[in-house]
Structures are given as structure tokens and as C-alpha cells.
Amino acid sequence: MKLTSKNGNWRNPERGRLLRKACGASCRKIRAQIAGVKEAIFAEYSRVFSAPEQLVRLALNEAEAAAWQTKYPHLFFPTLAAEKVRAVAAWNARQQSVRENSPVIVLAA
């Protein structure tokens, strides 16, 4: 059974090409928005926290990867990214605290 509409064939190649073009443009727009938010979050948290840059970038990349697993990555990413970067900052602060408060043991030979 062939699917047809009142105006002709459903499998219109031109319609498919236009749909792919629109989807591609939408995806590029979302990627650009996420990249902009990623840089804004990085700049903000770099000023506020003293976590190593590489750890912050890794946290942002992890948040982006998780956001892309959802239907609405542009909606989930900002919250996920903020949570991940705060977790990195808390971990880094804890590590510094441990280093500062740990006694240094020197073993003499």
C-alpha cells in the first residue's frame, strides 16, 4: 500500500531536503547557544572559585555530554554545568584543606 496525500506522494524529496536543512540549522543554533553558555559559566566560575582550569573544562564537557542525552539539551545544560562546576570547586577546596591541615612527615635516613 502506497502512502499518498491529497496533494501527492508523502515521500517528496524536496520536502525531505528542506526538513534536513531545518533540522541541521536548529542543531547548529543549539550547539552555538550551549557553547556560549559554557564559556559564560567558565568565565564566571573562574573568577569565583580557584579550581584548576582543566578540571572546570572537564566538568563542563561532562555536563554537555549529559545534556545532549536529553530531548532538550539547551534547557538542561546550564543547570547541569553549574552543578558540575560547583562540585569541582567543592572538591578542590576540600583537597586544599586536606593538604594544609595534614602534618608533613619527614623521614630521615
pLDDT tens profile 63-73: 999 999 999 98
Looking at every residue in the chain, the average pLDDT score rounds to: 82
At residue 109, does pLDDT exceed 70? no
pLDDT digits (tens, 9 = 90+) for 19-30: 788 888 888 888
pLDDT at 8: 53
Distance CA 31, CA 100 (A): 41
Can you tell me which residue has the cell 591541615?
101
* Residue 2 pLDDT: 46
Q: Which residue has the higher pLDDT, 75 or 8?
A: 75
Q: Which three cell numbers stand for residue 63?
A: 555536563
How far is the C-alpha of 55 from the C-alpha of 24, rounded, in Å?
A: 31
Distance between CA atoms of residues 84 and 56, nearest Å: 8
pLDDT score recorded for residue 99? 82
